[in-house]
Amino acid sequence: MKIYLDNAATTQVYPEVVEAMTPYYTEYYGNPSSIYSFAGEANKAVSHAREVLANMIHAKAEEIYFTGGGSESDNWALKATAEAYADKGKHIITSKIEHHAILHTCEYLEKKGYEVTYLDVDEYGTVKLDELEKAIRPDTILISIMTANNEIGTIQPVAEIGKIAGKHGVLFHTDAVQAFGHIEIDVDKMNIDMLSASAHKINGPKGSGLMYIRKGVRIRSFIHGGAQERARRAGTHNVPGIVGFGKAAELAKATLKERIAYETVLRDYLINRVLEEIPFSRLNGERVNRLPNNVNFCFQYIEGESMLILLDQRGIYASSGSACTSGSLEPSHVLLAIGLPHEIAHGSLRLTLSEKTTKEELDYTVDELKKIVERLRSMSPLYEDSLKEKRS
Ligand SMILES: *Cc1c(COP(=O)(O)O)cnc(C)c1O
């Protein structure tokens, strides 16, 4: 039995994607920057992927820059904007629930003399628009708010954020790594100036990402070297990785509507069963306005890590918070930001579905989860105490 419910951490590379990539390792291995005709195939494939990926977000092909993944794009967006616009100001606005690729880059910039405002979110993980607007100052150069959260799935009011940024003449970057290929994104309608996306979150290969940079945005090159990517991101193109990203996006686009519908039904089924059948459980994030494949619960009186180990023994692969925070004993910064106390934030479980997840798999998962929660609680002195308190 293998039930993979950690699709926010990474996804299966689809066989069609591998098939599309393979010839660019073994046959058309030429460097796309070379002049001879043999390199032409590789060059064409990169251009095709660029078109497809631009189409996904209603951008122009020349506004897409290939990178080595979501983290690189996030680093690039923040560091290069900070540098290019330092003459205008040194203030950046972000939120407390961003991915560490954003938060740790912001901390780095603070050490370099930039000032960062970390916006609070409401109890569902949504940025408050009035507070965002109030935080804008004459020296604000960038707003970076994620499209959808990787832990609790909350979708941000991106179009409204874009509108506010535009009104004040501030650049708007969004980390769309969890949202790209999972929900509709339109960089024009949403007034997005820069956007990060990553192939391995949409059934593409790892280590392949992109940054959308709107034409006219002043941004410095991030990797210095050759003239690839309009001299803004040097390095020989990862041709198979780019081809795989393009193919994954093509598939994601073709199935988007039905996938959203299918996953939403499964997601809500899972939420309802858990909340009804497991006492002292809580859903984290917005009930409706959340990624179709994301579920995140807290189970009071339980350690998230012990739950994961017991689930693993039953062939169920899940996560507590994000893959990046596991291994540290700190509770998730996202759960703390939505106001959960430390002891509850420790007992969180994230289950992220795919279009291949079945109802049977979820039934098995909930059945096992019920037993696991019961067993762990029976060993928890806190749980015993709380029961005694209720009785007295
Ligand atoms: C996964 C993820 C990233 C990092 O992307 P990589 O391609 O793994 O570097 C950044 N932001 C969010 C929201 C993510 O979910």
pLDDT tens digit sequence for 195-213: 999 999 999 999 999 999 9
The pLDDT of residue 323 is above 60: no
386 in the same domain as 247:
no
Task: Of 43, 325, 49, 98, give the one whose Cα is nearest residue 209.
Answer: 49
Task: Of 78, 98, 69, give the one whose Cα is nearest residue 156.
Answer: 98
Distance (Å) from CA 177 to ligand 1 centroid: 6
Residue 104 is predicted with a pLDDT of 98
Last residue in a domain, options 201, 234, 251 = 251
Residue 316: CB partners within 8 Å, gap ≥ 6? 3, 5, 364, 365, 368
Distance between CA atoms of residues 66 and 221, nearest Å: 12
Last residue in a domain, options 190, 218, 251 = 251
Query: Could you list the residue range(s) of the whole structural domain that residue 384 is in?
Result: 3-7+255-391
> Phi-psi bin for 128: left (phi > 0), alpha (psi -120 to 50), beta?
beta
Measured from the Cα of 73, ligand 1's closest atom is 9
Measured from the Cα of 200, ligand 1's closest atom is 7
276 in the same domain as 134:
no
Kind plus residue range of the DSSP H or E element containing 334: helix 333-337
Whether residue 291 contacts residue 184, with contact meaning beta carbons closer than 8 Å, is answered with no
387 in the same domain as 354:
yes
Residue 353 is predicted with a pLDDT of 98
Both ends of the chain: CA-CA distance in Å? 44
Measured from the Cα of 148, ligand 1's closest atom is 13
333 in the same domain as 273:
yes
Residue 220 is predicted with a pLDDT of 87
83 in the same domain as 135:
yes
Assigned token pair, 299: 């189970």
- pTM of the full predicted structure? 0.96
Greater model confidence, 303 or 73:
73
Average pLDDT value for residue range 32-36? 90
199 in the same domain as 275:
no
**Would you mind telling me the total number of residues written for the chain in this entry?**
392
318 in the same domain as 198:
no
Q: Could you tell which of 72, 100, 178 is best to mutate to test the pocket of ligand 1, judged by most ligand atoms within 8 Å of the CB?
A: 178
Last residue in a domain, options 206, 229, 251 = 251
Assigned token pair, 270: 């899972």
Q: Which of 61, 234, 324, 336 is catalytic?
A: 324
Alpha-carbon torsion 22, 28, 30, 31, what sign? negative
The packing angle between helices 359-378 and 239-277, to 10°, is 60
**Strand blocks (E) in the chain:** 3-4, 64-67, 91-95, 115-119, 140-144, 171-175, 194-198, 209-213, 281-283, 294-299, 316-317, 348-352
Residue 218: CB partners within 8 Å, gap ≥ 6? 84, 85
Residue 241 Cβ inside 6 Å of ligand 1? The answer reads no
Alpha-carbon torsion 282, 257, 259, 273, what sign? positive
Distance (Å) from CA 212 to ligand 1 centroid: 15
Residue 250 Cβ inside 6 Å of ligand 1? The answer reads no
**Strand blocks (E) in 153-224:** 171-175, 194-198, 209-213
Alpha-carbon torsion 184, 58, 168, 150, what sign? positive
163 in the same domain as 119:
yes
221 in the same domain as 271:
no
215 in the same domain as 90:
yes
C-alpha distances in Å from residue 244, one per residue of 14, 94, 203, 212, 370: 9, 31, 9, 18, 39
Residue 105 Cβ inside 6 Å of ligand 1? The answer reads no
The pLDDT of residue 325 is above 60: no
Give me the sheet containing 281-283, strands edge to edge.
Answer: 281-283, 294-299, 348-352
Distance (Å) from CA 175 to ligand 1 centroid: 8
The pLDDT of residue 380 is above 50: yes
Residue ID of nearest Cα to ligand 1 atom 14: 177
Q: Could you tell which of 76, 201, 211, 291 is best to mutate to test the pocket of ligand 1, judged by most ligand atoms within 8 Å of the CB?
A: 201
What is the chain's Cα-based Rg?
Answer: 22
Specify the CATH number for the domain of residue 44: 3.40.640.10
Strand partners, 171: 142
Residue 178 Cβ inside 6 Å of ligand 1? The answer reads yes
Residue 204 Cβ inside 6 Å of ligand 1? The answer reads no
Assigned token pair, 132: 């965002």
Structural domain total, the chain: 2
Distance (Å) from CA 34 to ligand 1 centroid: 31
Q: Which tens digits make up the pLDDT trace of 283-303? A: 999 999 999 999 999 998 888
Assigned token pair, 232: 């803004």
Residue 348 Cβ inside 6 Å of ligand 1? The answer reads no
Distance between CA atoms of residues 111 and 261, nearest Å: 45
Average pLDDT value for residue range 329-334? 83
Residue 177 Cβ inside 6 Å of ligand 1? The answer reads yes
Measured from the Cα of 74, ligand 1's closest atom is 10
Q: Is 324 a catalytic residue?
A: yes
The pLDDT of residue 327 is above 60: no
Residue ID of nearest Cα to ligand 1 atom 5: 70
143 in the same domain as 218:
yes
247 in the same domain as 377:
no
Measured from the Cα of 149, ligand 1's closest atom is 13
Specify the CATH number for the domain of residue 292: 3.90.1150.10
Least confident range of 176-180, 315-319, 385-389? 385-389
Location of structure tokens 């961003």: 98
Per DSSP bridges, beta strands 140-144 and 3-4 are unpaired
